[in-house]
Amino acid sequence: MFFNKLKQIIFGITAFSLLIISEAALADYMNVLNLTEGVTPTSKMVYGLHMQILYIVTAIGVVVFSVMCWSIYHHRKSKGAVAEQFHHSTTAEITWTIIPIIILVVMAIPATKALVFMEQTGDAEMTIKVTGYQWKWKYDYLDDDISFFSSMSKDSNDARQLGSGIDPKTIENYLLDVDNRVVLPINTKIRILTTAADVIHDWWVPALGWKRDAIPGFINDNWTYIEEPGVYRGKCAELCGRDHAFMPIVVEAVPKAEYAVWVEEQKTMQLAAAEGAEREWTKDELLEKGKDVYAANCTACHMAEGQGVEGLFPALSGSAIVNNTDASEMIMLILNGKNMMPAFKDILNDADIAAAMTHERNSWGNTVKDVIQPSDVKAMR
Amino acid sequence: MSEAVIHDDHHDHKPSGIGRWLFSTNHKDIGTMYLVFALIMFFVGGAMSMVIRAELFQPGIQYVDPQFYNSMVTVHALVMIFGALMPAGVGLANWMVPLMIGAPDMALPRMNNMSFWILPFAFTLLLSTFFMQGGAPAGGWTMYPPLVLQLGDGFPYLVFAVHFLGISSIMGAINIIATVFNMRAPGMTFMRLPLFVWAWIITAFLLIAAMPVLAGGVTMLLTDKYFGTAFFDAAGGGDPVMFQHIFWFFGHPEVYILVLPSFGVISQIIPTFSRKPLFGYTSMVYATASIAFLSFFVWAHHMFTVGMPLTGELFFMYATMSIAVPTGVKIFNWMATMWRGSMTFETPMLFAIGVLFMFSIGGFSGLMMGITPVDFQYHDTYFIVAHFHYVIVPGIIFGIIGGIYFWLPKWTGNMYDEKLGKLHFWISTISVNVLFFPMHFIGLAGMPRRIPDYSVQFADWNSIISIGGFVFGASQLILVWVVIKCVRGGEKATDQVWEGAHGLEWTLPSPPPFHTFTTPPKVTDATAHS
């Protein structure tokens, strides 16, 4: 009777599982099973090694588990098995010490080769520096003097808020899309330096075949050589605080000629942005820009309506600092950070900070309603 | 004198009221308190994992703020490791080590009381952080700086809780070593000790070596935050990675601190239900000792991605792979013990066989992750979550639960309900695999760990994993039911309890009197464990 019940339970669970599987099409499950083969010599080597070791341990598993099952089936008291009393066999013990050692050596040889290959960071044709921030990435193209931040795209950010009511399945590339992509040339040996500004992050694009920690105060040295054009997505892999899940990476690999065009575009854009910080802005201009800057840099903690998070992040709505007619304390706080608040002096330019402040001081019932100019911020640096 | 001893045994008088527990110096009562505490913490930590699985049931954030989710991940681990697994292991040792070696009690009974009663205070400190400004620890149980230093008012409570837990563990370890070294019955030589006792001696030495390192590490965090030092701050000449080296120098031996007692338990269970002596006793002892020794040389495999020199990576890869050899020896010895035995499959044996199969799966994925170049892909994904949960849940927890079923009749004098025990085993085994096996898939396919929300291609597997989690969580209530039922009554257990049981503990009445072996028994080869 007991076993009948058990059978019913097992049957129920199996039927329920099948129901879920059939409903969501088996293909969805089959696509999410294994490591990616990737698009670099490293990733292909790693994939090959992974499969080789997987086959070896699976084979060991099949042999060991078969022997155990055979023994469990045949050496049962209920089948009349009588226990022997042996408790020692030097031959057997030496055998099952030596054979694993041989298997391990067989695994260690290709692993050593792969590791030596991966650590050759010399002869790079170009270098980019990746800096992790809570919670976005900064990319510096050291050879071309290009520098920009890359944050998660707005539609993903809206949908991922607690109780947003937006179905993530309706968002294209949910949690995997950014505002500014890292554009890289194909068939080029690229040196990628990782570091961080606040806490430890980890820059990981599975298709490149490795991940590496980004550590504040230290620089890690890596390289990649992308063989196929395409868009490759990744994520931060080291717990870095509240929004660790929300700092994706998007690498766009393009042919060399296309890359050269992109570099020129970036240089022109950066020049225009630098000029913007010098001139006088109108209130409408600042409010419009400020909304975007706030959404990309501030909402994670201070939330969309400036309400903050009780006990963790202070509200900006009604805040004494925000409503102070003397803006200097607020400017200093934004520039230099405090506790969990990061220092924004290297993250945002004067126009960005002025715009965000103007937005904050004119929203959510805040009373100052004044205009902060980029020159005000510049004066406090 | 011997009259007085017999008098004591006969009357079996126990102190009454709450004082019996508060001031207890009796190894059996303290063992019971450890086990009950561990069970409570198992459900506290389990409740947190239910929050985690509920949040991950679907993509998007439905129930908790990401910061609170990170607290759940962090405190779940701390509670399970320091509150459930370690106290459960110490509880089994308290109950069984004196009975197995023929000692009247632990060597240091008052310290035994203290090492237990520190635990509730330590966990009050830890869990009170949920009600503080800045919330509970949310930087992972590994407490990596600089992230952990961003914690608010709860930070010193975390550090002091870890200090107290360390003190408690070290006192427990000293007690076990003192007991085994000084209080063995005449004739109970070291190489006649039951393997559970051997596993615990080795664990105790690991504890004494590893816990002070953790205490030092968290103290340095404390001074970094409040006293202006810069051990882990590059801006002051420190190095955040140094903390990881310190932490994992503790952390890897800690893995074996958790697993060896469980190995000890199944080394008792398998010979009993195979009705055959343990195969390769000597090599079991040496294999356990070498696993413990090697565990101090592999710590950096937890942090391959921090960027070490090539030679460092190679050293830690080879050292890690070499641990597979003694671990394999243990698995093969258990198989050889079963081989040509006469097996029956009562609940303890089912759990022990479950350990053999599923710990091996955790061992295989562990070997895969020891291969440094591939670990660069596996690191910090759900593949590692799958790996260590296979080792901890169906490896360690199944071993401890097997031990509880194995010794429950001895402790209570009543047989537990075998049908319920088997039901518990089967539901747990099926659900634990539904829970943890698909984590291998999503990890390989690229889902990082410690995230409250994920991209939609992982949604289907995560739903299945969560269902497995809920079933597994609920099925542990069967264990509580079985234990309560068994304590309240049931078929009377014999002294030997199990047909194939050998050793001193099975010569005592079930339940054993409050004071046992006040006259030491004489141990010969015939009466020793196999």
Query: What is the Cα B109 distance to its own chain's centre?
Result: 23
Evaluate if residue B379 carries a pLDDT over 70. yes
- pLDDT band at residue A275 using 50, 70 and 90 as cut-offs: confident
Give tens-digit pLDDT for A285-323: 888 888 888 888 888 788 888 888 877 788 888 888 888
Q: Which of A65, A221, A311 sits opposite B134 (nearest CB)?
A: A311
Catalytic residue among B95, B141, B200, B461: B141
Q: What is the mean pLDDT of chain B?
A: 93
The answer on A141 and A223 residing in a single domain is: yes
Q: Is B267 a catalytic residue?
A: yes
Identify the three-state secondary structure at position B140: coil
Catalytic residue among B34, B117, B200, B256: B256
Q: Quick check: A211 and B144 CB within 8 A?
A: no
Q: Is B10 a catalytic residue?
A: no
Q: Which pLDDT score is estimated for A377?
A: 86
Give tens-digit pLDDT for B281-299: 999 999 999 999 999 999 9
Whether A372 maps to a domain, the answer reads: yes
Q: Which pLDDT score is estimated for B529?
A: 62
Give tens-digit pLDDT for B28-53: 999 999 999 999 999 999 999 999 99
Whether B150 maps to a domain, the answer reads: yes
Q: Which pLDDT score is estimated for B5?
A: 43
Whichever domain contains B422, its CATH number is: 1.20.210.10
Q: Which pLDDT score is estimated for A86?
A: 85
Nearest to B405 by CA among B389, B422, B393, B429: B422
The answer on A169 and A97 residing in a single domain is: no
Catalytic residue among B32, B49, B129, B169: B169
Evaluate if residue B8 carries a pLDDT over 50. no
- pLDDT band at residue A131 using 50, 70 and 90 as cut-offs: very high
Give tens-digit pLDDT for A327-363: 888 888 888 888 778 888 878 888 888 888 898 888 8
Evaluate if residue A2 carries a pLDDT over 60. no
Q: Which residues of B touch A67 (CB under 8 A)?
A: 335
Whether A27 maps to a domain, the answer reads: yes
Whether A56 and A107 have beta carbons less than 8 Å apart is answered as yes
Q: Which pLDDT score is estimated for B2?
A: 41
Q: Which pLDDT score is estimated for A339?
A: 74
Whichever domain contains A314, its CATH number is: 1.10.760.10
Task: Return d(Cα B262, Cα B343) in angstroms, integer.
Answer: 21
Q: Which pLDDT score is estimated for A87?
A: 83
The answer on A242 and A286 residing in a single domain is: no
Strands A136-141 and A146-150, by their bridges, are antiparallel
Q: Give me the mean pLDDT over the B425-442 stretch.
A: 96
Q: Which residues of A touch B381 (CB under 8 A)?
A: 237
Q: Is B360 a catalytic residue?
A: no
Query: What is the domain extent for residue A40?
Result: 22-57+90-120
Q: Quick check: B368 and A50 CB within 8 A?
A: yes
* Helix A90-118 vs helix B324-338: crossing angle, to nearest 10: 150
The answer on A134 and A156 residing in a single domain is: yes
Give tens-digit pLDDT for B121-145: 999 999 999 999 889 999 999 999 9
Q: Quick check: B357 and A46 CB within 8 A?
A: no
Q: Is B424 a catalytic residue?
A: no
Domain count, chain A: 3
Query: What is the Cα B179 distance to its own chain's centre?
Result: 21
Whether A359 maps to a domain, the answer reads: yes
Evaluate if residue B199 carries a pLDDT over 90. yes
Q: Which pLDDT score is estimated for A5?
A: 65
Catalytic residue among B29, B254, B313, B417: B254
Q: Quick check: A236 and B450 CB within 8 A?
A: no
Give tens-digit pLDDT for A12-53: 667 666 665 555 566 677 778 899 999 999 999 999 999 999
Whether A68 maps to a domain, the answer reads: no
Alpha helices in chain A, H assignment, sequence order: 2-23, 26-30, 41-74, 90-118, 154-159, 256-276, 283-297, 299-302, 328-336, 350-361, 374-380
Q: Which pLDDT score is estimated for A301?
A: 83
List the beta bridge partners of residue B24: none
Give tens-digit pLDDT for A102-111: 999 999 999 9
Query: What is the Cα B431 distance to its own chain's centre?
Result: 20
How close is the nearest chain A Cα to the Cα of B147, in Å? 5
Query: What is the domain extent for residue B176?
Result: 30-507
Q: Which of B134, B146, B345 sits opposite A216 (nearest CB)?
A: B146
What the block records as the tokens of A177 is: 């899309």
The answer on A366 and A290 residing in a single domain is: yes
- pLDDT band at residue B6 using 50, 70 and 90 as cut-offs: very low
What the block records as the tokens of A69 is: 């099952």
Whether B526 maps to a domain, the answer reads: no
Q: Which pLDDT score is estimated for B374?
A: 96
Strands of the sheet containing A210-214, edge to edge, are A182-185, A249-254, A230-236, A201-205, A210-214
Evaluate if residue B4 carries a pLDDT over 50. no
Angle at A161 between CA A160 and CA A163, to 5 degrees: 110
% of chain B residues with pLDDT over 90: 92
The answer on A130 and A115 residing in a single domain is: no
Give tens-digit pLDDT for B318-333: 999 999 999 999 999 9
Q: Quick check: A175 and B454 CB within 8 A?
A: yes
- pLDDT band at residue B1 using 50, 70 and 90 as cut-offs: very low
- pLDDT band at residue A81 using 50, 70 and 90 as cut-offs: confident
Domain count, chain B: 1
Task: Return d(Cα A331, Cα B359) in angstroms, integer.
Answer: 56
- pLDDT band at residue B259 using 50, 70 and 90 as cut-offs: very high
Give tens-digit pLDDT for A207-227: 999 999 999 999 999 999 999
Q: Is B299 a catalytic residue?
A: no
With CA atoms as reference, the chain B residue closest to A9 would be B427
Task: Return d(Cα B242, Cα B233) in angstroms, integer.
Answer: 10
Whether A63 maps to a domain, the answer reads: no
Whether B345 maps to a domain, the answer reads: yes
Give tens-digit pLDDT for B142-190: 999 999 999 999 999 999 999 999 999 999 999 999 999 999 999 999 9
Q: A372: which DSSP letter?
A: -
Q: What is the mean pLDDT of chain A?
A: 88
Query: How many contacts (CB atoms, under 8 Å) link A and B?
Result: 318
Q: Which pLDDT score is estimated for A80?
A: 86
Whether A269 maps to a domain, the answer reads: no
Identify the three-state secondary structure at position B79: helix
Whether A327 maps to a domain, the answer reads: yes
Q: Which pLDDT score is estimated for A281?
A: 83
Locus of tokens 């072996």: B517
Q: Quick check: B335 and A57 CB within 8 A?
A: no
Task: Return d(Cα A158, Cα A154) in angstroms, integer.
Answer: 6
Q: Is B71 a catalytic residue?
A: no
The answer on A133 and A219 residing in a single domain is: yes
φ and ψ of B211, to 5 deg: -60, -40
Whether A39 and B457 have beta carbons less than 8 Å apart is answered as no
Q: Which of A84, A119, A244 sits opposite B310 (nearest CB)?
A: A119
Q: Quick check: A92 and B336 CB within 8 A?
A: yes
- pLDDT band at residue A324 using 50, 70 and 90 as cut-offs: confident
With CA atoms as reference, the chain A residue closest to B307 would be A220
Whether A165 and A374 have beta carbons less than 8 Å apart is answered as no
Peptide bond into A223 cis (omega under 30): no
The answer on A42 and A138 residing in a single domain is: no
Whether A79 maps to a domain, the answer reads: no
Q: Give me the mean pLDDT over the B67-95 stretch.
A: 96
Q: Which of B283, B313, B356 sits opposite A115 (nearest CB)?
A: B313
Whether B23 maps to a domain, the answer reads: no
pTM of the predicted structure, to 2 decimals: 0.89
